[in-house]
Amino acid sequence: MTHARTGGAGHPSPHGAQDAVPDAAVAPVGSVRRIARPRQRERPAPLYWAAMKHIGVLTSGGDAPGMNAGIRAVVRTAIHDRLRVSGIYRGYQGLIDDDIVELGPRSVANIIQRGGTILRTARCDAFLQPEGRAHAADALRKRGIDGLVVIGGDGSFRGAHRLHAEQGIPVVGIPATIDNDIYGTDVSIGFNTAINIALEAVDRLRDTAASHDRLFLVEVMGRDSGHIALHVGVAGGAEAILLPEDVVPADDVADMIVAAQDRGKSSSVVIVAEGAYEGGAMALQSAVKARCGYEVRTVILGHTQRGGSPTTRDRVLASRLGFHAVRALQLGAADVMVGIDQREVVRVPLADLERNTKDIDRELMELATILAI
Ligand code: ADP
DSSP letters along 55-84, please? Answer: EEEEE-SS--TTHHHHHHHHHHHHHHTT-E
Per-residue model confidence as pLDDT tens digits over 302-355: 999 888 999 999 999 999 999 999 999 999 999 999 999 999 999 999 999 999
Q: Whose CA is nearest to atom 6 of ligand 1?
A: 155
Alpha-carbon 121 to chain mean position? 15
CA of 291 to the centre of ligand 1 (A): 42
Do 300 and 314 reside in the same domain of the chain? no
Residue 45 in domain? yes
The torsion defined by the Cα of 250, 256, 262 and 268, in degrees rounded to 10, comes to -90
Residue 366 in domain? no
CA of 209 to the centre of ligand 1 (A): 40
Ligand 1 atom, smallest distance to 93 CA: 16
Question: Mutate which of 88, 127, 151 to test ligand 1's pocket (most atoms within 8 Å of Cβ)?
Answer: 127
Residue 265 in domain? yes
Give the range of the structural domain holding residue 265, as residue numbers without chain letter: 192-306
Q: What is the CATH number of the domain that holds 269?
A: 3.40.50.460
Percent of all residues in the chain with a pLDDT value above 90, rounded to a whole number: 69
Q: Whose CA is nearest to atom 14 of ligand 1?
A: 123
Do 166 and 206 reside in the same domain of the chain? no
CA of 161 to the centre of ligand 1 (A): 11
Q: Whose CA is nearest to atom 9 of ligand 1?
A: 155
| Cβ contacts of 295 within 8 Å, gap of 6 or more | 212, 213, 214, 215
User: What distance in Å separates the CA atoms of residue 284 and residue 268, rounded to the nearest whole number?
Assistant: 15
Do 301 and 336 reside in the same domain of the chain? no
Do 245 and 351 reside in the same domain of the chain? no
User: What distance in Å separates the CA atoms of residue 71 and residue 319, rounded to the nearest whole number?
Assistant: 8
CA of 123 to the centre of ligand 1 (A): 7
Backbone angles phi, psi at 242, to 5 degrees: -115, 125
Residue 362 in domain? no
Do 84 and 165 reside in the same domain of the chain? yes
The torsion defined by the Cα of 30, 33, 37 and 43, in degrees rounded to 10, comes to -30
Whether 23 is a known active-site residue: answer no
Do 174 and 225 reside in the same domain of the chain? no
Residue 236 CA: distances (Å) to CA of 23, 143, 347, 363: 55, 50, 33, 17
Given 306, 322, 339, the domain boundary residue is: 306
Do 126 and 185 reside in the same domain of the chain? yes
Do 25 and 155 reside in the same domain of the chain? yes
User: What distance in Å separates the CA atoms of residue 268 and residue 247, rounded to the nearest whole number?
Assistant: 19
Do 53 and 181 reside in the same domain of the chain? yes
Q: How many domains does the chain have?
A: 2
Q: What is the CATH number of the domain that holds 43?
A: 3.40.50.450
Residue 161 in domain? yes
Lowest-confidence pick of 34-48, 70-84, 262-276: 34-48
Q: SS3 for 326-364, per residue? A: HHHHHCCCCCEEEEEECCEEEEEEHHHHHHCCCCCCHHH
User: What distance in Å separates the CA atoms of residue 228 and residue 307, rounded to the nearest whole number?
Assistant: 15
Backbone angles phi, psi at 142, to 5 degrees: -60, -35
SS3 of residue 163 by DSSP: helix
Do 58 and 157 reside in the same domain of the chain? yes
CA of 226 to the centre of ligand 1 (A): 20
Rg over CA atoms, the chain: 23
- CA proximity to 198, closest of 97, 299, 326: 299
Q: Whose CA is nearest to atom 23 of ligand 1?
A: 158
Residue 116 in domain? yes
Binning the chain into helix, strand and coil, the percentages to the nearest 5 are 40, 20, 40
Question: Mutate which of 90, 156, 188 to test ligand 1's pocket (most atoms within 8 Å of Cβ)?
Answer: 156
Do 183 and 204 reside in the same domain of the chain? no
Please, what's the b/e burial string for 98-117 (b: 16 or more CB within 10 A of its CB; e: otherwise)?
ebbeebeeebbeebbebbbb
Q: Beta partners for 361?
A: none
CA of 354 to the centre of ligand 1 (A): 12
Per-residue model confidence as pLDDT tens digits over 3-26: 666 655 554 443 333 333 233 333
Ligand 1 atom, smallest distance to 126 CA: 16
Q: Whose CA is nearest to atom 8 of ligand 1?
A: 61
Q: Give the β-pairing of 26-29 and 147-152.
A: unpaired
Question: What is the band of 294 on the pLDDT scale with cuts at 50, 70, 90?
Answer: confident
pLDDT at 126 over 80: yes
Q: Whose CA is nearest to atom 13 of ligand 1?
A: 123
SS3 of residue 325 by DSSP: helix
User: How many residues make up the chain in this entry?
Assistant: 373
Per-residue model confidence as pLDDT tens digits over 250-288: 889 888 888 888 888 877 899 999 999 888 898 888 888
Catalytic hit among 179, 186, 314, 335 = 179
Q: Is 81 left (phi over 0), alpha (psi -120 to 50) or beta?
A: alpha
Residue 372 in domain? no
Residue 28 in domain? yes
- Which residues lie with the beta carbon below 6 Å from any ligand 1 atom? 60-62, 92, 123-124, 127-128, 152-156, 158-159, 162, 177
Do 169 and 65 reside in the same domain of the chain? yes
pTM: 0.89
Strands laid side by side in the 147-152 sheet: 4-5, 344-349, 336-341, 171-175, 147-152, 54-59, 84-88, 100-102
Per-residue model confidence as pLDDT tens digits over 184-240: 999 999 999 999 999 999 999 988 887 887 889 999 999 999 999 999 999 999 999
User: What distance in Å separates the CA atoms of residue 135 and residue 117, rounded to the nearest whole number?
Assistant: 24
Dmax of the chain from CA atoms? 78
User: What distance in Å separates the CA atoms of residue 202 and residue 218, rounded to the nearest whole number?
Assistant: 7
User: What distance in Å separates the CA atoms of residue 75 and residue 189, rounded to the nearest whole number?
Assistant: 17
